[in-house]
């Protein structure tokens, strides 16, 4: 069976500082982030869609983008690196988008991190939801 991968891009602005870091990023600064959400699946025989792009947009905005846009990320997690942010985002989205395949988070135009995390079932069976990111839930 051939699967398709759908992708949707989102942009948001946010600030942070990196604790325990020896460099400029220890100071308060901001980024124009780009998040790319990828889902994987087979098109529904009735609709012809893997997922409606409108639904992807709603889910990503509700559970991730709107939570980060124009925020001080240190209020959301203790160590707001791109690596920790993307794990946090995965853990939020996979609960509502079981077809989630991969996330890409661009911190600048030239710096990105990609992540493929646990399935919803695997995630629910662990305590890694807040442990892995140091998130403040």
Find the helix or strand (DSSP H, E) in which 88 lies. Answer: helix 82-93
- Known catalytic residue: 70? yes
Write out the two tokens for 49. 């869609």
Selecting among 3, 11, 13, 25, the annotated active-site residue is: 25
pLDDT (tens digit, 9 = 90+) per residue, 42-86? 999 999 999 999 999 999 999 999 999 999 999 999 999 999 999
Q: Is 96 a catalytic residue?
A: no
Which pLDDT does position 121 carry in this prediction? 79
Which of 11, 13, 70, 122 is catalytic? The answer is: 70
Residues pairing with 120 in the sheet: none
The model's pTM:
0.88
Asked whether the CA dihedral 60, 135, 17, 116 is positive or negative, the reply is: negative
Task: Measure the CA angle with vertex 100, ends 97 and 106; round to 5°.
Answer: 115
Confidence of residue 1 (pLDDT cuts 50, 70, 90): low
Q: Calculate the CA 65 to chain-centre distance.
A: 8
* Fold classified for 4-131: Tetrahydropterin Synthase; Chain A (3.30.479)
Summarised one tens digit per residue, pLDDT across range 5-51 is 999 999 999 999 999 999 999 999 999 999 999 999 999 999 999 99
pLDDT, mean of residues 89-111:
96
Ramachandran class of 134: left when φ > 0, alpha when ψ lies in -120 to 50, beta otherwise: left
Strand arrangement of the beta sheet that strand 71-72 belongs to: 71-72, 4-16, 29-41, 100-108, 111-115
């Amino acid at each position: 069976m051939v699967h398709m991968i759908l992708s949707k891009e989102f942009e948001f602005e946010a600030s942070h500082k990196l604790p325990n870091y020896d460099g400029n990023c220890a100071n308060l600064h901001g980024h124009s982030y780009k998040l790319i959400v990828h889902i994987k699946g087979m098109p529904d025989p009735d609709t012809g869609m893997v997922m409606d792009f409108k639904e992807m947009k709603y889910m990503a905005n509700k559970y991730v983008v709107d939570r980060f846009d124009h925020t001080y990320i240190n209020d959301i997690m203790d160590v707001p690196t791109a690596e920790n942010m993307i794990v946090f985002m995965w853990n939020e989205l996979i609960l509502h988008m079981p077809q989630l395949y991969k996330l890409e988070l661009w911190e600048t135009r030239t710096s990105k991190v990609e992540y493929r995390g646990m399935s919803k079932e695997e995630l629910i069976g662990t305590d890694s939801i807040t442990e892995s990111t140091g998130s403040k839930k």
